[in-house]
Amino acid sequence: MVNQERAIHFLRKLISIKSVNPPGNEFAVANAISEHASKAGLSTEIKAFSKGRANIVVRLKGRNPKKPSLIFSGHLDTVPVGDNLWKYHPFSAEIVDEKMYGRGACDMKSGVAALIEAMILLKERNDMLEHDVVFCWNGRRGS
C-alpha cells in the first residue's frame, strides 16, 4: 500500500524547488529525487551537464539483467510562473480542500513523484520483477 504521507511530503518537496526553465535548475530536483530514492534502497546516478542542470537515473534491479528494462521518464523542469496573480504561491505546494497547488503539481512533478513512489513500493514489497525498472530524465543528450 502506498505511504500517502511520504508521497505527499515528497511531492511538496519537489514543487517547492524552483526549476523554472529557462534556466532549468533540474539539479536541485534530481538531488531531492536521489535522496528520497536512495533512502528506500534504490540506486541513483546524477550527471550534471551545466550549472544547475542535471540528468538522473533511478534503478530498481530485477532478477534477470538480460531482460529489457521498463523505463519511466518525466521532466523535472516547469514552465515560467507568468505574470498572472496566483491565489497560492507557485512554489508553496499548499493543500486546500484536498488539492495541492503549485508549479508542477499537474505537470510533471506529480507524475515523477508517483513513478518514484511506485518503484519504492515494489522495493518495499520485495516484489522483484524479472526486469529492471528505471526512471530517467535526460534534459540534454550526453556527449
Which CATH number applies to 4-137? 3.40.630.10
What are the residue ranges spanned by the domains of the chain? 4-137
- Tell me the per-residue pLDDT of 76-110, one tens digit each, with 9 for 90 and over: 999 999 998 999 999 999 999 999 999 999 999 99
* Average predicted confidence (pLDDT) for the chain: 94
Sign of CA dihedral 141, 81, 108, 25: positive
Q: Residue 140: which pLDDT band, with cuts at 50, 70 and 90? A: low
Q: Is 87 exposed, middle or buried (0-12, 13-18, 19+ CB in 10 A)?
A: exposed
Alpha helices per DSSP H over 40-104: none
Is the pLDDT reported for residue 68 higher than 50? yes
Q: Residue 143: which pLDDT band, with cuts at 50, 70 and 90? A: very low
pTM to 2 decimal places: 0.93
